[in-house]
């Protein structure tokens, strides 16, 4: 970290500072991974037996119309040329236009991604707020009834088909009890009421100070977010428990206890402090998983998110949309990974 003031003078042979080298390496590996991601998606798109031309022109089209569109899409060029063209566009941050709805893919993604992000963020918050204390408690009271309850809760969460639980949840909490809002992000009357700033309705409504919209949006998001939250809770609480157990059996904890430190301090000030980094990695990974968009949840709750966007695009061979969506999701995954790696390096002395 003390590699600062040696930039004066033109010494070309000066070795690159370590952090710069790491940065380059990291950027390089991001680039390679993204390139690979793009390439594979591109190939998949081309070998798929779904015909993008047919997807555009529809069932009734004459061969003449078909051929015109085929040419227009550049499908008559060699595969590699098509890929290079595409890369060139992506480098200019242009994901092309959706083959199906003729809108720029970047515009579509800007619309669907905030929806997923809002859902995923609330989901992970629920998962963390409930999952971490539950995991800690289960570890501290290992073998007690609370540990068993936590275990069952987590295992049930792992094992439940989300589409089934989602439909049932909708039926009970919306259909029968009417406690929450139905499918969709907000009620019909609130669509486009608040100006779009972040694309996340809860935040936009708060910025605008329109609490009616906020309440309505909240009543719509709470059920799907709780579902996703439950799934991350299952994972996070289990991981927390096993991290904590490892710490609690360490010698320094025994020492601290012998010294008469209060149990609260032992657990939270020592043991928990040491698992923070590992925990953040786990949370970052499950957050990344949620940000990919839970396709099934999105379908059931008519949630216009990125998961169902990519899926719909895929099934109608709208390759520009699939590629654009995959790049965004892949990039987020990679960034979150790097972020948790960095945390590791900063906070965990052993990793140096």
Interface positions, 122-151, toward another protein (CB under 8 A): 151
Q: Judged by CB under 8 A, which of 59, 78, 209, 264 binds another protein?
A: 59
26: which residues sit within 8 A by CB, 6+ positions away?
338
Among 203-211, 253-261, 273-281, 316-324, which window interacts with another protein (CB under 8 A)?
316-324
Among 4-12, 180-188, 202-210, 255-263, which window interacts with another protein (CB under 8 A)?
180-188
Min dist. Cβ of residue 48 to another protein (A): 5
Which residues ranging from 192 to 211 are in contact with another protein (CB under 8 A)?
Answer: 192
User: Residue 169 in contact with residue 179, Cβ under 8 Å?
Assistant: no
Which residues ranging from 28 to 47 are in contact with another protein (CB under 8 A)?
Answer: 29, 32-34, 36-37, 40-41, 44-45, 47
Q: Judged by CB under 8 A, which of 182, 261, 280, 344 binds another protein?
A: 182
The site map against another protein for 214-253 (x = CB under 8 A) is -xx--x----------------------x--xx--x----
The site map against another protein for 321-350 (x = CB under 8 A) is -x--xx--xx--xx----------------
| For another protein, the closer CB: 59 or 251 | 59
Q: Judged by CB under 8 A, which of 73, 87, 167, 193 binds another protein?
A: 167
| For another protein, the closer CB: 192 or 251 | 192
What are φ and ψ of residue 104, in 5° steps?
-60, 135
239: which residues sit within 8 A by CB, 6+ positions away?
135, 278, 279, 282
Which residues ranging from 63 to 122 are in contact with another protein (CB under 8 A)?
Answer: 63-66, 68, 98, 100-103, 108, 111
Which residues ranging from 253 to 312 are in contact with another protein (CB under 8 A)?
Answer: 292-293, 295-296, 299-300, 302, 304, 307-312
Min dist. Cβ of residue 152 to another protein (A): 9
Min dist. Cβ of residue 23 to another protein (A): 18
């Amino acid at each position: 970290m003390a590699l600062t003031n040696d930039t004066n003078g033109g010494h070309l042979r000066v070795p690159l500072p370590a952090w710069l080298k790491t940065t380059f390496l990291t950027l390089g590996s991001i680039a390679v991974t993204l390139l690979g991601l793009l390439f594979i998606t591109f190939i998949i798109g081309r070998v798929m037996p779904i015909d993008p031309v047919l997807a555009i022109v529809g069932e009734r089209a004459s061969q003449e119309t078909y051929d015109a569109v085929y040419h227009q899409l550049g499908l008559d060029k060699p595969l590699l040329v098509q890929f290079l063209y595409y890369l060139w566009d992506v480098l200019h941050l242009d994901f092309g236009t959706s083959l199906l709805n003729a809108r720029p893919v970047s515009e579509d993604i800007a619309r669907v991604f905030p929806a997923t992000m809002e859902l995923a963020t609330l989901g992970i918050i629920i998962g963390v707020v409930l999952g971490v204390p539950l995991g800690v408690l289960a570890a501290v009271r290992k073998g007690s009834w609370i540990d068993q309850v936590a275990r069952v809760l987590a295992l049930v969460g792992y094992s439940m088909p989300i589409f089934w639980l989602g439909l049932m949840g909708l039926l009970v909490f919306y259909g029968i009890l009417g406690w929450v809002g139905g499918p969709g992000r907000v009620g019909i009357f609130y669509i486009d009421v608040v100006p779009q700033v972040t694309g996340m309705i809860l935040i936009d409504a708060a910025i605008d100070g329109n609490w009616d919209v906020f309440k309505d949006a909240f009543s719509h998001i709470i059920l799907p977010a709780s579902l996703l939250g439950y799934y991350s809770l299952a994972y996070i609480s289990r991981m927390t428990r096993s991290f904590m157990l490892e710490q609690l059996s360490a010698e320094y904890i025994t020492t601290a206890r012998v010294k008469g430190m209060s149990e609260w301090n032992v657990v939270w000030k020592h043991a928990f402090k040491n698992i923070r980094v590992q925990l953040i990695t786990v949370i970052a990974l499950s957050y990344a998983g949620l940000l990919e968009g839970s396709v099934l949840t999105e379908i059931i709750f008519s949630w216009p998110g990125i998961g169902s966007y990519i899926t719909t695009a895929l099934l109608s061979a709208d390759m520009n949309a699939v590629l654009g969506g995959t790049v965004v999701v892949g990039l987020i995954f990679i960034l979150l990974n790097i972020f948790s790696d960095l945390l590791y390096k900063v906070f965990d002395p052993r990793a140096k």
